[in-house]
Amino acid sequence: MTGRTFASDNNSGVHPAVLEAIARANEGHVHAYGDDPYTQDAIAVLRRHFGDDAAIWFVFNGTGANVTALSSVMRPFNAVICADTAHINTDECGAPERFTGSKLIDLPSGDAKLTPEQVRGAVRGVGVEHHVQPRVLSLTQSTEYGTVYTPEELRALADTAHAEGLLVHVDGARISNAAAALGCTLAEITRDVGVDVLSLGGTKNGLLLGEAVVFFDPALAPDFAFVRKQSAQLASKMRFVSAQFSALFEDGLWLHNASHANAMAALLAREAAGLPGVVITQKVEANEVFARVPAEKIAALQAIADFYVWDERTAEVRWVTSWDTTQEDVRGFVAGMREVLGG
């Protein structure tokens, strides 16, 4: 094996073009904290995707993007509605509650996607001082189960949210994978369907480090610069974060990387589906494959290439592909699994 695993797209490296962009930005002195030409360029690049009036801010990581995005549009007595599987709900060690001071109202979901009916049902107690006041609907795209909201589904959710007085946040740590899966532009699954604020993922799709917060209406968060700084998410040598975004979003590298990761997941799902005892449990729409496997074989399978057990009780596992996963990685993994599982 190559050393590449199926544990997480966070385990992957940096795309060479991104490293080159960092090296190119390493020239002389520029102003710190984002007042530099590299950052201006990266913002211009992203505005070509998201619109000329989008307010775009770079932060360090996905949790940083989510908590600054959320806390900049909420008061502590507000609440966020999200799926129970949402990264903000389960994988950020309570950072959203800590930064916002607010409750997350988490709704059950078999496929990590929410429906307008669920959202409507979760908006309760409006105007009553005893109850938290829902303010944001947070959706993950692609979801934590590798599923994808269609533009129509997003539009319906956003319309519902807005009718209920909610803003729509998208945790887009893997939004490039969703766009690739749908054959959509990034705007078509965010701005155009009514999303208000986006956590735009970079790290999982080939960056060294870096995410962006995108407000489609800059009036939503006029004070975001202060929120970012006070949240310890402002990079001093900003050029080295922003130059990565230019590299990723300038010429389609984002789409190339995401499409490739998706294709590798599709290949893996297709090949693994035929293995004895393997049941694919979620639609494979982006770069994640969920499957039930024989519980007693899990350790042997992980010895081939590392991956996470999602739910020990059901022996459900998660396989994630990355921009740098190769066909050989997939075929080698499947071949190894076949040896372990028979068939």
> What ranges in 16-110 are assigned the alpha helix state H?
16-25, 37-50, 62-73, 87-90, 95-100
Neighbours of 253 (CB within 10 A): 20
Residue corresponding to tokens 């507000």: 78
For 63, 74, 108, 119, 137, the CA distances from 218, given in Å and listed in that order, are 21, 15, 32, 25, 18
Stretch touching a copy of itself by CB under 8 A, among 89-97, 140-148, 257-265, 274-282:
89-97
Residues 15-54 that bind a copy of itself (CB under 8 A): 16, 19, 22-23, 25-33
Among 95, 107, 187, 300, binds a copy of itself (CB under 8 A): 95
Q: Does 103 bind a copy of itself (CB under 8 A)?
A: yes
d(C-alpha 52, C-alpha 309), whole Å:
43
Residues 126-185 that bind a copy of itself (CB under 8 A): 129-133
Do residues 309 and 298 make contact, with C-beta atoms less than 8 angstroms apart?
Answer: yes
Comparing CB distances to a copy of itself, the nearer of 30 and 280 is: 30
Residues 304-343 that bind a copy of itself (CB under 8 A): 306, 322, 324
Residues 195-254 that bind a copy of itself (CB under 8 A): 203-204, 208-209, 223, 225-237, 240-241
Stretch touching a copy of itself by CB under 8 A, among 63-71, 174-182, 246-254, 293-301:
63-71
Comparing CB distances to a copy of itself, the nearer of 81 and 184 is: 81
Do residues 45 and 83 make contact, with C-beta atoms less than 8 angstroms apart?
Answer: no
Comparing CB distances to a copy of itself, the nearer of 23 and 279 is: 23
Among 38, 50, 58, 99, binds a copy of itself (CB under 8 A): 99
Stretch touching a copy of itself by CB under 8 A, among 70-78, 147-155, 161-169, 333-341:
70-78
Q: Give the pair of three-digit tokens for residue 325.
A: 């996963």
- State the nearest-atom distance from the C-beta of 9 to a copy of itself, in Å: 9
> What ranges in the chain are assigned the alpha helix state H?
16-25, 37-50, 62-73, 87-90, 95-100, 116-122, 151-163, 175-182, 224-230, 239-250, 253-273, 298-304, 327-341
Neighbours of 264 (CB within 10 A): 24
- State the nearest-atom distance from the C-beta of 343 to a copy of itself, in Å: 27
